[in-house]
Amino acid sequence: MSEKDMPHSGHYFGDQRDLWWNYDFLELMAKRWDLSSVHSVLDVGCGIGHWGFTLAPFLNDKSQISGIDPEPRWIEKATERAREKNLERQFHYQIGKAEQIPYEDNTFDMVTCQTVLIHVRDPSIALKEMIRVLKPGGLLAVAEPNNLAPLLVFNNLNVNDPVDEVLMAIQFYMMCERGKQALGLGYNSIGDILPFTFSQQGLRKIQIYLSDKTSPLIPPYLSREAQILLDQIKAWEGQEILTWPKEETKQYFLAGGGIEAEFEEIWQALLKDFKKNMQAFKDKTLSTTGTTLMYLISGRKK
């Protein structure tokens, strides 16, 4: 499928998305959230079902999980995956948007999403809708990142890069994030500010946790997880994708105040670094902790 035809987030729906969480960490979160008492769940912006399937083992056997997504292809794929996992009686999907959820008030014990609010024009509108369909006392829980933080996580090749090159990359991606936000397409580091938004929406018992998951790549990359990550990186290599495909990145950069004449030079410099890392992967000489910054933020409806 071409970049132009790829629905939202399609580049990130590979097998690597199943590696985002440590099982024992989610087991702990299930106790903190008392997920065993949850009977109905809404997964907002469900994509092809990764987050719902990830949470399912920590819910009771009779729980029903509904998912909504605005992309018909993802709804079809999520339904297919549920059938393949023999979970079609537990999982149900339909087309729907976070800003206009197609369910009645006070329907669910839990409403949740994973990396969805980073794509929403106005998160407060989406959160109001998510709270609306929650039962009183119900749990709203979201997994959202700070996507700029990993730029200051170094590997064995770039740890001594010139300061101006490091700052150039940070400035570039920050401008892209600001541009994406200015275009009404969401803020990619929204996790930092969501607790305040939760409080403004009147939620109580607000809790904030950080995922303990890392995705290390340590030579000679023998683990199954390392192989999945490497396969994904190799797939991106042939498509000229960094965080986003090139033309999408340029759109965000310009909207964030970037100068068009500078874009190509910066893109090529970043692509060069990416290819250097790729070659080091192939040579089994690169090591990285694979650290990200993913928040789990929750609150209870009054």
86-103 per-position pLDDT tens digit: 999 999 999 999 999 999
Residue type, 278: M
Helix, strand or coil for residue 147?
coil
Q: Decide if 168 contacts 269 (C-beta within 8 A).
A: yes
Average pLDDT over residues 126-135: 98
User: How far is it, in rounded angstroms, from Cα 91 to Cα 69?
Assistant: 14
- CATH homologous superfamily for 1-147+189-214+292-302? Vaccinia Virus protein VP39 (3.40.50.150)
CA dihedral 200, 201, 202, 204 (to 10 degrees): -100
2 vs 147, more confident: 147
DSSP-based helix, strand, coil % in the chain, nearest 5: 45, 20, 35
Q: What pLDDT does 230 receive?
A: 79
Average pLDDT over residues 20-25: 96
Average pLDDT over residues 118-129: 97
Q: Decide if 218 contacts 287 (C-beta within 8 A).
A: yes
Q: What is the mean pLDDT of the chain?
A: 93
pTM strictly above 0.85 = yes
Average pLDDT over residues 19-30: 96
Give ranges for CATH 3.40.50.150 in the chain.
1-147+189-214+292-302
Question: Where does residue 228 rank: exposed (0-12), middle (13-18), buried (19+ CB within 10 A)?
Answer: middle
Q: What pLDDT does 11 receive?
A: 55
242 vs 195, more confident: 195
Contacts of 247 (CB under 8 A, 6+ apart): 3
Q: What pLDDT does 5 receive?
A: 53
Q: What pLDDT does 38 receive?
A: 98
Residues 198-249 pLDDT 10s: 999 999 999 999 999 998 999 999 988 888 887 877 777 777 788 999 999 9
Q: What pLDDT does 14 receive?
A: 66
Would the pLDDT of 133 be above 60?
Answer: yes
In which region does residue 44 sit, left (phi positive, over 0), alpha (psi from -120 to 50) or beta (all else)?
Answer: beta
Would the pLDDT of 55 be above 70?
Answer: yes
Average pLDDT over residues 183-193: 97
The CA–CA distances, whole Å, from 39 to 103, 231, 249 equal 16, 37, 41
User: How far is it, in rounded angstroms, from Cα 118 to Cα 176?
Assistant: 13
Average pLDDT over residues 140-151: 97
Q: What pLDDT does 3 receive?
A: 45
pLDDT tier at 2, thresholds 50, 70, 90: very low
Average pLDDT over residues 263-275: 95
